[in-house]
């Protein structure tokens, strides 16, 4: 197990390094530069370039960036004057994280429950309700769900505020819009794996031993059926957190997505780099933790890794 964790840690670190390098190169390949939109005299421009170190060779700039990164310094934004990338991230990330966690917890808990109910009532009306929810969830993109929720619950019926993020009632619509797709995926997966587990021999054994139905469901079926759901948690976390980009722009939430899209449009090199690296590293680490947890839960991996 220890060896397995070490291996995952090593791969994750390499991934982050490759990510930094790719983004560093891509950012420099972008047409135009951060100062091209302002009208500057050549002297000021040269000074600015010297200030940000653009006059040095690319490889030196890269090494400096990596060095600063190691002490957690992302540098200063080129468009938001006097704001460090660290402070922008510190301001905006909590919104994205909060929204992401709400979306994730709604979708995973409700998804598992819905899949469970569907599988236990196979072929009955509750099953069809869950299938319909799953079909809608997987075929409607989140920005459309966001727009429709805004229209019906916000504008037509006035039940929830349409935009911004200032309290519990503000979080309801964006969290649902964000989590709906994942909810559908999880419930589908849970239903399928429950139905598979029911046919296994150990369930028959448990039944023949006279264990109560509730205990069989709780102790034997759910525990085994939940494994496939745990495997997809890593990619799920990634997709939910990237989904916040769109949801934030629809609901005017001041999270990272808004700054990210703006920094890309402004060619704000340091902000693009910092946000991508931060965000990418966050996702890579989240994925790694899920993988390690999975290894701990599943005895087959736990023993094989020793």
Partner 1 sequence: MEKFTDLNYIDIKLFNTVGKNTTQMEAISRPNLTYWKDAWRRIKQNKAAFIGLIIIVIYVFFAVFGPMMNNYDYTAVNSSKMNQFVSSDHWFGTDELGRDLWTRVWRGARVSLTIGFLSTILNTIIGGLVGGISGYYGGTLDLFLMRFIDILYGIPYLIVSILVMVVLGPGMSSLIIAMVIVGWIGTARFVRGEVLRIKEQDFVAAAKVLGVSDMEIIIKHIIPNIMGLIITNLTMAVPRAIFNEAFLSYIGLGISPPECSWGILAKSGIKMLRIYPYQLFIPSFFICTTMLALNLLGDGMRDALDPRLRGTE
Residues in the chain, overall count: 306
Nearest to 174, CA basis, from 278, 259, 258: 258
**235, exposed or middle or buried, with CB in 10 Å at 0-12, 13-18, 19+?**
middle
Query: How many CB atoms lie under 10 A from the CB of residue 41?
Result: 8
Residue 77 to residue 74: CA distance in whole angstroms: 9
> What binding mask, one character per residue, do residues 222-261 give for partner 1 by CB under 8 A, x or -?
----------------x---x--xx--xx---------xx
Is residue 55 a contact point for partner 1 (CB under 8 A)?
no
The verdict on 148 binding partner 1 (CB under 8 A) reads yes
Is 280 a binder of partner 1 (CB under 8 A)? yes
123 binds partner 1 (CB under 8 A): no
Residue 127 has a CB neighbour count (10 Å cut-off) of 16
Distant-in-sequence, close-in-space partners of 47: CB < 8 Å, separation ≥ 6: none
Q: How far apart are CA 77 and CA 91, in angstroms?
A: 14
Nearer to partner 1, 186 or 284 (CB): 284
Q: Find, among 52, 49, 89, 92, the residue nearest to 72 by Cα.
A: 89
- The CB-of-267 to partner 1 minimum distance in angstroms stands at 8
Q: Is 30 in the site for partner 1 (CB under 8 A)?
A: yes
* 3-state SS, residue 113: helix
Binding string, residues 1-20; x marks residues near partner 1 by CB under 8 A: ----------xx-xx--xx-
**Minimum distance from residue 243 beta carbon to partner 1 (Å):** 9
Q: Which of 272, 274, 290, 295 binds partner 1 (CB under 8 A)?
A: 272
Q: For residues 48 and 235, which CB has a smaller minimum distance to partner 1 in the complex?
A: 235
Q: Does the footprint of partner 1 cover residue 150 (CB under 8 A)?
A: yes
Residue that the structure tokens 């994205």 belong to = 96
Q: How far is CA 227 from CA 112, 190, 223, 293, 294, in A?
A: 11, 9, 7, 11, 8
160 interacts with partner 1 by CB under 8 A: no
Q: Does 304 bind partner 1 (CB under 8 A)?
A: no
Minimum CB–partner distance for residue 36 and partner 1 (Å): 14
Instruction: Tell whether residue 265 is a contact of partner 1 (CB under 8 A).
Output: yes
Count CA within 13 A, CB hemisphere, residue 292.
18
Q: Can you say whether residue 35 is alpha, beta or left, with left for phi > 0 and alpha for psi between -120 and 50 degrees? A: alpha
| Residues in contact with 296: Cβ distance below 8 Å, sequence separation at least 6, in sequence order | 1, 302
For residues 176 and 154, what is the distance between their CA atoms, to the nearest angstrom? Answer: 13
- Name the one range near partner 1 by CB under 8 A: 52-60, 136-144, 202-210, 217-225: 136-144
Confirm or reject binding of residue 22 to partner 1 (CB under 8 A).
Answer: yes
Least spacing, CB of residue 79 vs partner 1, in Å: 15
Q: Is residue 198 involved in binding partner 1 (CB under 8 A)? A: no
Task: Return the residue of 247, 284, 290, 295 that touches partner 1, per CB under 8 A.
Answer: 284
Interface residues with partner 1 (CB under 8 A) are: 11-12, 14-15, 18-19, 22-23, 26-27, 29-31, 135, 138-141, 143-144, 146-148, 150-151, 155, 192, 195-196, 238, 242, 245-246, 249-250, 260-261, 264-265, 272, 276, 279-280, 283-284, 287
């Amino acid at each position: 197990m220890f060896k397995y964790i070490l291996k995952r840690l090593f791969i994750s670190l390499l991934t982050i390094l490759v990510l930094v390098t790719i983004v560093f190169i891509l950012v420099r390949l972008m047409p135009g530069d951060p100062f091209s939109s302002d009208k500057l005299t050549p002297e000021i421009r040269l000074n600015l370039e010297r200030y940000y170190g653009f006059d040095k060779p690319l490889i030196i700039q890269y090494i400096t960036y990596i060095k600063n990164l190691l002490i957690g310094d992302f540098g200063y934004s080129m468009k938001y004057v006097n704001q460090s990338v660290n402070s922008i991230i510190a301001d905006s990330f909590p919104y994205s994280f909060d929204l992401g966690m709400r979306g994730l917890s709604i979708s995973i808990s409700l998804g598992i429950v819905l899949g469970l109910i569907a599988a236990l009532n196979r072929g009955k009306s509750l099953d069809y309700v869950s299938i319909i929810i799953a079909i809608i969830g997987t075929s409607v993109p989140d920005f459309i769900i966001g727009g429709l929720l805004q229209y019906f619950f916000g504008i037509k019926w006035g039940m929830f505020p349409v935009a911004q993020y200032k309290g519990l009632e503000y979080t309801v619509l964006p969290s649902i819009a964000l989590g709906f797709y994942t909810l559908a995926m999880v419930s589908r997966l849970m239903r399928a794996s429950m139905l598979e587990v029911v046919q296994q021999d150990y369930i028959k054994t448990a039944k023949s031993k006279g264990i109560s139905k509730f205990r069989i469901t709780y102790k034997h079926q759910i525990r085994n059926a939940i494994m496939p759901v745990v495997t997809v948690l890593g990619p799920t976390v990634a997709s939910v957190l990237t989904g916040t980009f769109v949801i934030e722009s629809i609901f005017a939430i001041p999270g990272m997505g808004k700054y990210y899209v703006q920094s890309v449009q402004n060619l704000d090199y340091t902000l693009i780099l910092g946000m991508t690296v931060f965000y990418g590293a966050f996702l890579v680490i989240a994925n790694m933790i899920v993988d390690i947890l999975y290894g701990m839960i599943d005895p087959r991996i736990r023993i094989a890794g020793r």
